[in-house]
Amino acid sequence: MATPKKVFVSYKYSDVVEGRVDKFNFRDKLIDELDGRGLVHKGEDNESFDLKDYKRDQIISKIHPFVKNSSITVVFITPNAIKSQWIPWEISISLRKRTYDNEQNMTRNGIIGVYLPLDSNNIPVEFGGNYNFYKKLKSCGTITHFTSKFPNMIADNAFNLKNGAHTCGSGCCDSVYDSSTGSYIELVDWDTFIDDIDEYIDRAWKRREKFDNYNCRIKLNEGN
Ligand SMILES: [Zn+2]
């Protein structure tokens, strides 16, 4: 890897941090693993904060300083992420074209969507546990991802490689995408991701360099 990439971490506080200790405080575990490369905007940590009280430019000015110093965004996909006011903005700003002086700040971020091992009651499942809340393995080997449970900004920027859809080997699924290149926001399980963070960062960087090959939605639709 040519340059150590700085990583902006986007998350729903109540799912990822609140009441979580040790390895189940997923945000802090990732920040530790990133060893100085991680950046977080703790906008949601303060429960009294309501984004509806802020104007568009104020929201952008709060998030932008963190994103502009990163080149990769990791967004945690969790049961209540869909209710987050911050995640859509953080994805949107990560996708915007920016021009800065050095490589770190050159332009948009590559993005990785990481599924956390939480069950539908939001309880952490032991390492190696299931991710059934988010997806299902079909008998043909294709994985169906339950994108309606995602924040729209994630769902709309996954499975979006232009001409990337193909049929599965058994012929029963007609819009299958390659897991590493088929989505601008690659979707990966926490267990897999945390064991090989740099590989996923490298892949996100490569997709970012091929941004035009993807149908990405950058702007929010009515806050989503
Ligand atoms: Zn199939």
Q: Is 19 inside a domain boundary?
A: yes
Q: What's the 194 CA to ligand 1 centre distance in angstroms?
A: 29
Give me the chain's average pLDDT, please: 88
Q: Is residue 166 part of a domain?
A: yes
SS3 at position 224: coil
Residue 46 lies inside a defined structural domain of this protein: yes
Q: How far is the CA of 72 from the centre of ligand 1 (A)?
A: 32
Q: Is the pLDDT of residue 96 over 70?
A: yes
Domain annotation covers residue 32: yes
Q: How far is the CA of 167 from the centre of ligand 1 (A)?
A: 7
Residues in the chain: 224
Give the rounded percent of residues in the chain with a pLDDT score beyond 90: 61
CA 147 – CA 160 distance, rounded (Å): 13
88 alpha carbon to ligand 1 midpoint, in Å?
31
Q: Which of 2-11, 17-26, 31-40, 158-167 is modeled with the greatest confidence?
A: 158-167
- Does 221 reside within a domain? no
pTM: 0.92
Higher-scoring residue by pLDDT: 107, 12: 12
CA of 173 to the centre of ligand 1 (A): 4
Question: Under a CB-based contact definition with an 8 Å cutoff, are residues 56 and 33 in contact?
Answer: no
How far is the centre of ligand 1, averaged over its atoms, from the C-alpha of 1 (Å)?
A: 36
Q: Is the pLDDT of residue 48 over 60?
A: no
131 alpha carbon – ligand 1 mean position (Å): 20
Structural domain that includes position 39: 7-213
Number of compact structural domains in the chain: 1
* Distance between Cα 165 and ligand 1 center (Å): 13
166 CA distance to ligand 1 centroid (A)? 10
| 219 in any annotated domain | no
Q: Give the orientation angle of helix 26-34 with respect to helix 197-209, to 10 degrees.
A: 80
CB atoms within 5 A of ion ligand 1 belong to 140, 142, 168, 170, 172-173
Is 58 inside any structural domain?
yes
* Of the candidate ranges 72-81, 85-94, 99-108, 176-185, the one whose mean pLDDT is the lowest: 99-108
Stretch 135-152: mean pLDDT, rounded? Answer: 96
- Ligand 1 center to 185 CA (angstroms): 22
Distance CA 173, CA 115 (A): 23
The predicted model gives 46-64 an average pLDDT of: 76
CA 153–ligand 1 middle distance (angstroms): 26
Query: Tell me, what's the pLDDT at 110?
Result: 95
Question: Is residue 6 within 8 Å of residue 70, measured between CB atoms?
Answer: yes
